[in-house]
Amino acid sequence: MADDRIPLTNIPLQYQPFLPALQAAVQSPATDNSVITRFENTFADLMGVDNALACAGPEAALQLAVEAAGIQPGDEIITSPFNRLTHALPHISWVFADVCADTLNLDAHDVERHLTKKTKAMMPMHTFGYPADMEALMHLANEHGLQVFENCVQAPLAQADGVRVGSIGDMGIFGFTPAVALGQNTPAGCLITNDGALAQKARQILAQKVSLQMPATQAALLQALVPQAVENWIENRQKAAAWYEEELAGVPVQRPPVPPAEVNPTYTAYALRTERAEELVAFLAKHHIEAALAFAGFSIPDSLPCARHAQKETLLLPMFPDITPEQVERVCGAVRDFYEEDATL
């Protein structure tokens, strides 16, 4: 039956409890620049930083970061091969380093292997909401005088060493899902930093480039969602991740690493590793469960073996704030059935 399908995500459902506040925000007459300033202040306070700049999207935030940092054509930025934001700035010389096998985040040791005289920055991303090893990456950056742009699109409010991601490097880049439940399909983003000089440069650039600016209506929507809705969504996803961890115990798949006490992932997605990822996705589809290969479409060179294996082996299970324990149990039961059915052949 179609109505028993478990989707990979369910954005309209997660917005539903907040529709009255969102509708009030859209109808509010305060849709001038003052609402943008209010959102920037709210987000800066939430992230524990001095400066937040509202942008048209994460790509716009990245452009601001690169221009404010003085990155020039021909300069190199080292990043993860799974970083989709690199497509936003094709004129930059992106250099891809390998990822860690457990977290799928940028591997500091492999970053060091790719350093050249042209390297000016690195851009770790916090994959699926699990923070990268920022201590190791920042040590490397400080040693070699590199700027650090954190891609936090998948990790709003995640913490590493008790600090919000995005506030650890020189600048943090965020993206916000459009409020599709209201028909607001305009993307939005934000750039945060504690560096006053970088913030001033970025704000000057933002003032001159209308295409990079967040619409006031989008700022009003975000102001209605932050922090209450975002915190609620993250707390619910963390609960769901704990259910998955319990239900998948003993199943021959690699689950996300159990975080140490000082790390707080947000589980924007829930990823599994298995050599039979494609088969498992197809099996789940037959049981009306939507799953997906996590890194389909990426071109990974042979020189990055961990990333190449991860591309073949990583799949995403349903994860959204309103997923129920019963749905998680059903998903995990189907995963167990896949391996038990194979064992009887």
pLDDT computed for residue 1 by the predictor: 43
pLDDT computed for residue 167 by the predictor: 97
257/105 Cα distance (integer angstroms): 12
25/223 Cα distance (integer angstroms): 8
Tokens of 236: 């619910």
pLDDT computed for residue 30 by the predictor: 60
pLDDT digits (tens, 9 = 90+) for 95-126: 999 999 999 999 999 999 999 999 999 999 99
pLDDT computed for residue 23 by the predictor: 85
Average pLDDT over residues 37-63: 96
Residue with tokens 């993307």: 187
Task: Give me the long-range contacts of 193-200 (CB less than 8 A, separation at least 24).
Answer: 193/49, 193/50, 193/51, 194/49, 194/50, 194/51, 194/167, 195/51, 195/170, 195/171, 196/50, 196/51, 198/68, 198/69, 198/170, 198/171, 199/50, 199/51, 199/53, 199/68
H helices, E strands: number in the chain: 12, 13
Asked whether the predicted pLDDT for residue 180 surpasses 60, the reply is no
Domains of the chain: 13-225 (3.40.640.10), 228-343 (3.90.1150.10)
pLDDT digits (tens, 9 = 90+) for 271-323: 999 999 999 999 999 999 999 999 999 999 999 999 999 999 999 999 999 99
**pTM of the entire predicted model:** 0.94
Q: DSSP character for 127?
A: G
Handedness of CA 324, 329, 331, 332 (dihedral sign): positive
Q: What is the rounded end-to-end Cα distance, in angstroms, of the chain? A: 28
Distance from the Cα of residue 154 to its chain's centroid: 1
pLDDT computed for residue 24 by the predictor: 86
* Contact predicate 198/206, CB 8 Å: no
On average, the pLDDT of the chain sits at 92
